[in-house]
Amino acid sequence: MTLQETTRLLLPSLLSIPSATSVVHHTSQSILLSFIMKFTNYLLTTATLASSVLAAPAPRTGLEDRLRARSLQRQSHPLAPIPLDTSTKENSRLLEADENTTHVTYSSNWAGAVREQPPPQGTYSAVSATFRVPEPTAQGGSGTQAGSAWVGIDGDTYSNAILQTGVDFYVENGQTYNDAWYEWYPDYAYDFDLDVSTGDTIVAKVEAISPSQGVATIENISTGKKATQTIRAPAATATLAGQNADWIVEDFQSGDSMVDLAGFGEISFWGVQAQGGGSTWGVDDATIVELKQGNEVLTDVEVQSDSAFTVKYTS
């Protein structure tokens, strides 16, 4: 029985209590009615508060809390090149590729493909690609390991700014987590309010409206949801030049250091496209970037066509 029904049943009985006189009777009725109404309101308020507490969303897991905190300091960085060393086996392979007109370079934080020269008739105004969110795997040790897949404008030969958007993937003690984000370097990255899971197919795109304003879009094809954000340059010295178009897997930075890179199997980019100078461009003639840390090359980039390539984790 509800509280309202109980009140309706009790009220007639309480009001029918006999009184000595009609004046006293009416006065008693008024006082009693006021008491009943106040008590009913108190019970209703208490019940509402209790139901609100019960309906509150469940707290995030410990892993998610830590990663949310880490994401507040998450930041991509421009390509960090490593000088070519022709004495190593890995560089011999890259030099052979160079003879076939494919330009390959090393980086300590990037792997993928970059168009390092602007279009003949202008600058890059939009960059996009589709990729599938990988399943990250821990590579020895403990703690959180992570990586990121993204598209962007600038950040290679022009390093004052990067307009970019993508998806991070994390693993800790067998648990995985992902977040979709946008960033205008040198500012930090900011998360989209968009659910992303391992195996989801993602379309990522950035557009430069002007040197100081752009748009980042992440569309989750697997869920049918999309998020878009207009972004402004964080400083007058951080405007875009439109010199580079990037399709990247990154060992990104959190706080003052790079995260431990998680294994990611392979990440395929397709529908790769850059717009600029009235034309559309792919990865033909792009620079291939391999990620190398210490003496170990951790990736193998394979180009399938002008609009598709794969970054394989090889460690």
Q: Which amino acid is at 189?
A: A
Q: Is the peptide bond before 186 cis (omega within 30 degrees of 0)?
A: yes
Catalytic residue among 172, 183, 207, 250: 250
Judge whether 207 counts as a catalytic residue.
no
Q: What are phi and psi of 23, to 5 degrees?
A: -65, -50
Do 135 and 177 meet the contact criterion of CB atoms below 8 Å apart? no
| CA angle (139 as vertex; 138, 143 as ends), nearest 5 | 55
Q: Where are the alpha helices (DSSP H) in the chain?
A: 3-15, 22-55, 62-71, 89-99
Counts for the chain of helices (H) and strands (E), in that order:
4, 22
Q: Which amino acid is at 268?
A: S
Q: What are phi and psi of 253, to 5 degrees?
A: -105, 140
The DSSP annotation for 155-189 comes to: -SS--S-EEEEEEEEEEETTEEEEEEEEEEETSPE
Do 281 and 245 meet the contact criterion of CB atoms below 8 Å apart? yes
* CB within 8 Å of 314: residues ≥ 6 apart: 297, 298, 299, 300
Task: Tell me which residues are annotated as active site.
Answer: 250
